[in-house]
Structure 1
Amino acid sequence: MVSTDRLLAFAAMSFLLIVIPGPSVLFVIGRALAQGRRAALTTVLGNTLGAYVLVVAVALGVGAVVERSVLIFTGLKLIGAAYLVYLGVKAWRQRGALHAAVTGDAPAAHGSLRTLGEGFVVGVANPKTMVFFAAVLPQFVDRAAGHVPAQMLVLGLVFNLIAIVSDSGWGLVAATTRDWFAGSPRRLSLVGGTGGLTMIGLGVTVAVTGRTD
């Protein structure tokens, strides 16, 4: 299996990548500002599941195909970007209803399962994570030790454990800020609009970001 030194080296590199806010982190922050703590944490879980699908794909050899194919990579990236813009526009349009939702005067926008699914889509279409797993993850595998797919799955699990802790922290901080704004309908509407604009801007950024070859 994976040696301790390789595991620690991969964990260190993963940490450096994760702490720099990327599509998943910014999406979690936007969701926290727009819908609160529960939605943010559910989104983190969805993101993590989506990211682990990428790990499985790399372990099975699919990741290499995606990395080498400009068409497939670009297609996945644009799907993720379009979805982010869609969610951002939706959050912007619903910003005026946030105060009622927080105070209990109106039902939540949608359930946890749907929020989980939205986070999953963003996680699995995240170009930053996609490139990292396809290009970096295989470098930490000891092929002489055998069980290469299993080693990749273990390394991917380490990445996702770090990510879920870091992303949850970002989400909780953002949600706490949102709670402070909740005392004023106008301020809360501003926060919801900011969350929507964050997701729209993120979607545009993902769309125009190229591969690192």
Structure 2
Amino acid sequence: MIATPGPVMLLVASAGLQGGYKRALQTIFGTNFASLVLILLSVLILKGALNINEQWLNGIKVLGCFYIAYIGFDILKEVASRSSAENEMTLNAVSGGFKKGFLVGISNPKDIIFFASFFPQFTGVTADLNLSLIVLTMSWIILDFATLSMVYLSFNRLAQSAWYPKLLALCGLILIAVAIYGIYGIWF
């Protein structure tokens, strides 16, 4: 589930392309913190301490889809505005960072659905529910961090090639497609 392409991966990749590993790392920390918040909400729902109305959850998903589409359009706008005389592309709108990573992570429909419905199915890892939740959370954070770091390293190699603008444009299009698919799945 962590390795499936989605908005978080694309944001980390474009943040890394624009600002190097330091910026990618800040973005990864933001997305990981968002995962911890979603895990906490999932645990509270699982333990019966929190009940979320399905309409509110769908509203959050729709807002997340719009935010993801906004980032995709910003990437496309920056790619389109690049003049042929420039050798290097600047992407201020998708520079990543902790805040942007958190916002994309917390609004990611894939993660919301995963932590609300799929994650609780694995709480039987140990006989103690709390220990199981700790093991699952730590496993998620470690695997997520490692996967997103590998995504950055892979995209970083491509940043030096002529494919760079095309790759960023593809990232923007994929983000928009993910947002449209997410909205379609919520409403239909």
Alignment of 1:60-99 (within 5 A): 60-61=44-45, 65-66=51-52, 69-95=53-79, 96=82
Alignment partner for residue 125 of structure 1, among 107, 110, 115?
107
Q: How many residues align?
A: 182
In structure 1, the partner of 2:133 is 152
**Taking structure 1 as reference, are residues 191 and 22 closer, same or farther at Cα in structure 2, changes over 3 Å only?**
closer
Name the one with the larger helix percent.
1
The alpha carbon displacement at 1:82 in A equals 0.8
Deviations 1:129-163 (A, max 9, x none): 222222233333359955x4564244112112101
TM-aligned CA deviation for residue 167 of structure 1: 1.8
Counterpart residue number, 1:206: 182
CA distance in 2, matches of 1:54, 1:180: 37
Give yes or no for contact 1:89–1:200 (8 Å, CA) kept in 2: yes
Q: Deviations over 1:12-57 (max 9, x none)?
A: xxxxx22232342244345455x25434443222211111110111
Residue 169, structure 1, aligned to residue 150, structure 2: yes
Residues in 1 aligned to 2:126 and 2:33: alpha-carbon distance in whole angstroms: 29
Unaligned runs of 5+ in 1: 1-16, 182-186
Do the aligned partners of residues 23 and 195 (structure 1) sit closer, same or farther apart at CA in structure 2, a change above 3 Å counting? closer
RMSD value, Cα: 3.5
Aligned equivalent of 2:92: 109
Question: Secondary structure of the equivalent of 2:159?
Answer: helix
Any unmatched runs of 5+ in structure 2? none
Q: Which residue of 2 aligns with 1:4?
A: none
Check conservation: 1:30, 1:198, Cα contact below 8 A. Answer: no
